[in-house]
Every structure is written in C-alpha cells, then in structure tokens.
Amino acid sequence: MDDLETLAESIRNADTAAVLTGAGVSAPSGIPTFRGDDGVWERFDEGQFTYGRFRSDPEGFWADRLELQEAMFGGDYEPNPAHEALAALERDGHLEAVLTQNTDGLHADAAAAVRGDDVDEPRVETADSVLELHGNARRVRCADCGRRRPADPVLERAADGELPPTCDCGGVYKPDVVLFGEQLPGAVIQRARSLIRESDAFLAIGSSLAVEPAASLPRRASSSGATVGIVNLESTPCDDAADVVRREDVTEALPRLRELVVEG
C-alpha cells in the first residue's frame, strides 16, 4: 500500500474527514498566488491592503483594490481537476467540509457542477460544505449595515469613478475578504476548529501552511488523533506532523486519490 492509498483508506473509513486548501489548488486554474516567484505581492505592496487603510483612506484603498482585483481575477478561470475531485468526494459523503484559504469561489463552482447545477455564471453564494476562511472576493459587504451583494456591479461603479463605492445606507462597501489586520469571522474559525477536533482524516492541500490560523490546523488535527496528509509542491512547517507528505501536482494527486477512495 503506497501513501496515497493510505490516505484513501483513512478517508474511506473516517466518520469525519475534512480538507484545507490553499493557493496551490487554484494556481492551475490561472489564479496567481500571493507569495513566491511571480506572486502578487511581488507586484503590489501588501501594506496598501490593510483594514486600517480601508478605514482611514477608503478612496485610495479602492483605487488600489481595483488594480489588485484585475491582477488576481481579471482572466477567465474555472475549477480544475483538484477542485472537481474534492467536490465529488464531498457529494459522495466522503468529506464533511472543505476549508479554504482561497477567495476565488472555485470550490463553490465545483460543488455546483458536480451536483449538475447551472454554472454558466460564477457562484456568489457559498456552498454549505465550503468554509471560506478568508472570505470571498466575488462579494462586497457594507462596513456599516453589513449588507452583502455581488462584487461585480460595485467594482464597475468604482471603475467608473465612484471611489469609494457606497451602500444605500451611506456606508462604504468593503471587499468581503479578510484584510491584513482584520480578524477572521469568529463563527467560521470556530466551526473549522470543531471540524478539526472531530476529524479522523485531515488533508492540507496546496497550502504553504505559513499563515495563521490555518497553519496550525494540521497540528491540531494530528493532536486529536486524525490521520494527516499534506499534498504540496514545496515543504511546509507542518510536514513533521503529517502521516503522509506528497510532493505532487494537486491536479494529478487529487483525482487519483478520489479514484482510490471509490475503488476501495
């Protein structure tokens, strides 16, 4: 039995299995990563995208956010085989949830596709089985009343000169993502940690595991007795806590993992 078969068996036999995904899962779809060679932060100053700047200089924040949004999500992109494999595992009852650091909404698109839903338009809502730890760039939220709405119309208004774009209540819209200096949504991280405690199998896929609190999740899972697997092209700080470590392209490893789970 090789290590991918070990992971498949642990998922197949688990009462609860969960997955954490990072930028390496969306990179094959054409979404640029933030760090590393040719990462977004090589071209942009991450210090310009803090929650403090949003509050003190919303006009300047939004001017820079438009450029960042175009760099991140301006091209055509869609779920890749890794997204699809995870969505199929969840649909078939093998995964309780996907926890993602990504804000691109591709897990929701994949979940809709495997259910046979109409996916001509990108999904704005979040699938119940997906925990978006850092939010969703396809939405905006009013900083005053909390109203959420699709981002595209608001981005168009900003591009036409409405800086910053505002809600009907007069509040400033904020990208519905977690900015530097902003806390993660309490309910989301609480559910994530509950899932980790309950999981018999836990996979971290395409994540450098360098950003908290997601970075600590594999160790929490290991401490709770879960079988832990890491699939990432580069080493991570949590490799020593994993039962299985794969240095492999996620678009190849995940479809094969799903096949092994089903075949078993």
Q: For residue 17, which phi and psi values (nearest 5 degrees)?
A: -130, 140
Q: Which residues are catalytic?
A: 134
What distance in Å separates the CA atoms of residue 232 and residue 250, rounded to the nearest whole number?
Answer: 7
Sequence-ordered list of residues with C-beta below 8 angstroms from that of 69, at least 6 positions apart, any chain: 137, 155, 175
Separation of alpha carbons 39 and 150, rounded Å: 26
* Cβ(220)–Cβ(247) below 8 Å: no
What is the rounded CA–CA span in Å between residue 253 and residue 132?
23
**Coil, helix or strand for 193?**
helix
E-assigned strand segments in the chain:
17-21, 97-100, 130-132, 135-142, 148-150, 173-177, 201-205, 227-231, 244-246
Give the count of alpha carbons within 13 A of 220, CB side only: 18
